[in-house]
């Protein structure tokens, strides 16, 4: 009888390690001739990575071959950091071979570290925000995405839920399960091919409305991705608003 293998846990699938690893990248030029470039990871996950120093990539959708030691896998470019943004010079990669893991040893030994959401570089002193900045950070934007919730302490998996809106400091999710206010959760967000993991607190829970979760901590290395996503949502919201005013 064939041995059945259980699926990887959501925890293992989504964990991300902020580490710089040299990699060899093979890409194909306009004549389909293979070319080699050396780059470095910014962070890694089981089936992807964020990479810096890769000049050959021009746009999302390209497929390249990534080598780390004796391991090699084909990866697709899922996003390219925009010029003059905090992600400039970075690209997001996703492995197209589901059975390949380039960073198995590094992820096995990974210890997750988190940093406060509401503080700046000085982790010992709360950050003071001007009124307009507090409003900006709290502004929520509707979006399409999902979230996975894990209750802290008990480590019980609450399942995948619909992400209704999000700001830089919190989100609203729709869930059938009642989760009392005050519950501490580990939240993994899936938005636009990005995975973000945060620790938060349920601030309010209302039937048919959802759970309001306040972000307390974010996994190290992912703050810039959160800010990048919020900025993109704000730009889309502004465009939609302007179009509505024009055609009103």
- What pLDDT shows up at residue 38? 93
Q: Where are the beta strands (DSSP E) in 46-192?
A: 48-52, 63-68, 71-80, 90-95, 114-116, 141-142, 146-151, 157-166, 170-174, 184-191
205 SS3 class:
strand
Domain chopping of the chain, boundaries: 10-108, 114-247
- What pLDDT shows up at residue 211? 93
Torsion sign (Cα): 190, 93, 83, 133: positive
132-153: string of b/e by CB count within 10 Å (b at 16+)?
Answer: eeeeebeebeebebebbbbeee
77 SS3 class:
strand
pTM attached to this predicted model:
0.56
Q: Is the CB of residue 47 less than 8 Å from the CB of residue 34?
A: no
Query: Residue 157 and residue 150: Cα distance in Å, rounded?
Result: 5
Query: Residue 67 and residue 77: Cα distance in Å, rounded?
Result: 15
Q: Is the CB of residue 44 less than 8 Å from the CB of residue 30?
A: no
- What pLDDT shows up at residue 17? 77
Domain 114-247 class, CATH top level: mainly beta
71-82: string of b/e by CB count within 10 Å (b at 16+)?
Answer: eebebbbebbbe
Residue with tokens 């709290």: 138
Cβ-Cβ contacts under 8 Å for 2 (sequence gap 6 or more): none
Query: Residue 39 and residue 102: Cα distance in Å, rounded?
Result: 15
Q: Is the CB of residue 237 less than 8 Å from the CB of residue 191?
A: no
Give burial (CB, 10 Å; 0-12/13-18/19+) of 52.
middle
Residue pLDDT tens, the chain, 248 long: 333 333 444 444 456 777 888 999 999 988 889 999 999 998 888 889 999 888 888 899 999 999 988 889 999 999 999 888 878 889 999 999 877 778 877 776 666 788 898 654 444 444 444 555 556 677 889 999 999 898 876 655 667 789 999 999 999 999 888 789 999 999 999 888 788 889 999 999 988 789 999 999 998 878 888 988 898 888 887 887 776 656 55
204: β partners:
212
Tell me whether the CATH fold assigned to 10-108 matches the one assigned to 114-247: yes
Domain 10-108 class, CATH top level: mainly beta
CB-CB neighbours of 34 under 10 Å = 9
- What pLDDT shows up at residue 222? 84
What CA–CA distances, in Å, run from 101 to 94, 123, 137, 150, 179? 11, 34, 36, 25, 35
């Amino acid at each position: 009888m064939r041995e059945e293998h259980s699926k990887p846990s959501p925890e293992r699938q989504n964990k991300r390690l902020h580490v710089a690893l040299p990699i060899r990248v093979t890409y194909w030029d306009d004549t389909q001739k293979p070319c080699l470039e050396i780059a470095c990871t910014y962070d890694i996950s089981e089936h992807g990575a964020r990479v810096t120093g890769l000049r050959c990539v021009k746009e999302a959708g390209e497929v390249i071959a990534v080598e780390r030691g004796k391991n090699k896998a084909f990866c697709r470019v899922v996003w390219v950091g925009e010029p003059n943004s905090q992600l400039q010079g970075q690209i997001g990669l996703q492995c197209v071979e589901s059975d390949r893991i380039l960073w198995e040893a590094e992820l096995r030994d990974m210890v997750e570290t988190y940093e406060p959401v509401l503080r700046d570089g000085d982790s010992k002193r709360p950050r003071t925000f001007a009124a307009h900045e507090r409003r900006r950070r709290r502004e929520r934007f509707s979006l399409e995405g999902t979230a996975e919730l894990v209750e802290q302490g008990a480590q019980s998996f609450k399942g995948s839920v619909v992400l209704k809106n999000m700001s830089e400091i919190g989100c609203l999710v729709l869930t059938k399960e009642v989760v009392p206010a005050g519950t501490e959760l580990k939240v993994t967000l899936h938005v636009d091919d990005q995975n973000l993991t945060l620790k938060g607190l349920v601030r309010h829970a209302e039937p048919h409305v959802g759970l309001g979760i306040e972000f307390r901590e974010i996994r190290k290395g992912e703050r810039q991705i959160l800010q990048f996503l919020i900025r993109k949502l704000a730009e889309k919201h502004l465009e939609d608003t302007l179009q509505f005013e024009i055609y009103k």
